């Protein structure tokens, strides 16, 4: 039995895949949140950050490929384990089975995971490929260079209540998913003991709550107007739009 066989063919190996890919994805979502929290700084900050990421070129695609592989492995191990678990109960189930101590989060991992997957696809269409994004994407001057105005894109994107509510629901589900996942990954690789399991569970819940609050702050600030569009041209166009709505779209589109 070589290592790949042990990883992909045994029940414990698949759990290790689940845990390690989970750890990578937790690292990514926290990094992603920290990057996005720059929305609370002047627009130059997040625009420069976005420009830096875009300028990575080949490295960016390598990171994207790695993350995609991680997500695929995470989902593959989940599907494989769930199918085996379903089969393991046998043809006849219980008339009634009590839940003794399994947490709500642990019992809903597959549902929270599925909805978060749908959200990730929407999120990429929304802000990365812009297939599901309303207004045009504007360019802005950054130290003499024309760069994408990510700040304005985020603010305008979250000003739509339905979009924001979907983001909040998805982030809440992801936080619930993480509250089980973060402590569970330690158990799967054998690093959870009774001595620190209580502490570990608390860390998992605190990280999940902070993760939710951080994201909710971004969405909420844009939705409520606490963070506003600061691109002068877009601001002027939006102000003019309040007087004559019919030519609004073409005026905004002509900014670039």
Partner 1 sequence: MKVKLKVWRQENADAQGGFEEYEADKVNPNMSFLEMMDVVNEGIIEDGGNPIAYAHDCREGICGTCNCMIDGKPHGPENGVTTCQTYMRSFKDGDTITVEPFRAKAFPVQKDLITDRSALDKIQQAGGYVTVRTGSCQDANNLPIGKDIADLAMDAAACVGCGACVAACKNASAMLFVSAKAGQLNLLPQGAPEKDKRVLNMVAAMDEAGFGNCTNQYECSAACPKLISEEFIAKLNRDFIGATLRKNFQAKALD
Give contact residues for partner 1 (rule: CB under 8 A).
Answer: 1-3, 6, 10-16, 81, 84-85, 87-103, 106-107, 109, 180, 183-184, 186-194, 197
Decide whether 128 or 197 has the Cβ nearer to partner 1.
197
In contact, 168 and 224? CB cutoff 8 Å? no
Question: Minimal distance in Å, beta carbon 179 to partner 1?
Answer: 12
In contact, 15 and 6? CB cutoff 8 Å? no
In contact, 109 and 177? CB cutoff 8 Å? yes
User: What is the distance of C-alpha 40 from the center of its chain?
Assistant: 19
**What would the two tokens of residue 234 be?**
């877009």
User: Where is 149: in which H helix or E strand?
Assistant: none
Question: Minimal distance in Å, beta carbon 172 to partner 1?
Answer: 21
Q: 25-50 burial, b for 16+ CB within 10 Å, e for fewer?
A: bbeebeeebeebebbeeebbebbbeb
Decide whether 102 or 245 has the Cβ nearer to partner 1.
102
Decide whether 1 or 245 has the Cβ nearer to partner 1.
1
Decide whether 20 or 173 has the Cβ nearer to partner 1.
20
User: What is the distance of C-alpha 117 from the center of its chain?
Assistant: 9
Question: Minimal distance in Å, beta carbon 17 to partner 1?
Answer: 12
Question: Minimal distance in Å, beta carbon 101 to partner 1?
Answer: 5
Decide whether 100 or 239 has the Cβ nearer to partner 1.
100
3-state SS, residue 140: strand
3-state SS, residue 27: helix
Question: Minimal distance in Å, beta carbon 170 to partner 1?
Answer: 22
Question: Minimal distance in Å, beta carbon 93 to partner 1?
Answer: 6
Decide whether 34 or 82 has the Cβ nearer to partner 1.
82
């Amino acid at each position: 039995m070589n290592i790949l066989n042990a990883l992909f063919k045994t029940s414990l190996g698949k759990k290790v895949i689940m845990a390690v890919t989970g750890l990578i994805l937790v690292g990514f979502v926290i990094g992603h949140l920290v990057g996005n929290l720059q929305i609370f700084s002047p627009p130059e900050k997040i625009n420069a950050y976005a420009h830096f990421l875009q300028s990575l070129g080949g490295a960016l695609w390598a990171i994207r490929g790695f993350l995609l592989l991680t997500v695929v492995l995470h989902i593959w191990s989940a599907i494989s384990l769930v199918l085996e678990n379903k089969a393991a109960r046998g043809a006849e189930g219980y008339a009634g089975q009590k839940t003794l101590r399994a947490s709500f989060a642990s019992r809903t991992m597959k549902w929270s995971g599925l909805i978060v997957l749908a959200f990730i696809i929407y999120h990429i269409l929304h802000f990365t490929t812009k297939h599901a994004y309303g207004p045009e994407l504007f360019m802005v001057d950054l130290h003499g260079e024309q760069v994408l105005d990510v700040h304005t894109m985020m603010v305008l994107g979250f000003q739509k209540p339905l979009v924001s509510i979907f983001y909040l629901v998805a982030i809440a589900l992801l936080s619930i998913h993480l509250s089980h996942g973060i402590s569970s990954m330690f158990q799967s690789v054998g690093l959870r003991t009774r001595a620190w399991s209580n502490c570990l569970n608390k860390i998992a819940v605190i990280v999940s709550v902070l993760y939710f609050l951080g994201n909710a702050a971004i969405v909420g600030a844009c939705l409520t107007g606490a963070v506003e569009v600061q691109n002068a041209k877009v601001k002027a166009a939006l102000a003019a739009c309040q007087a004559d709505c019919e030519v609004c779209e073409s005026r905004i589109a002509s900014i670039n």
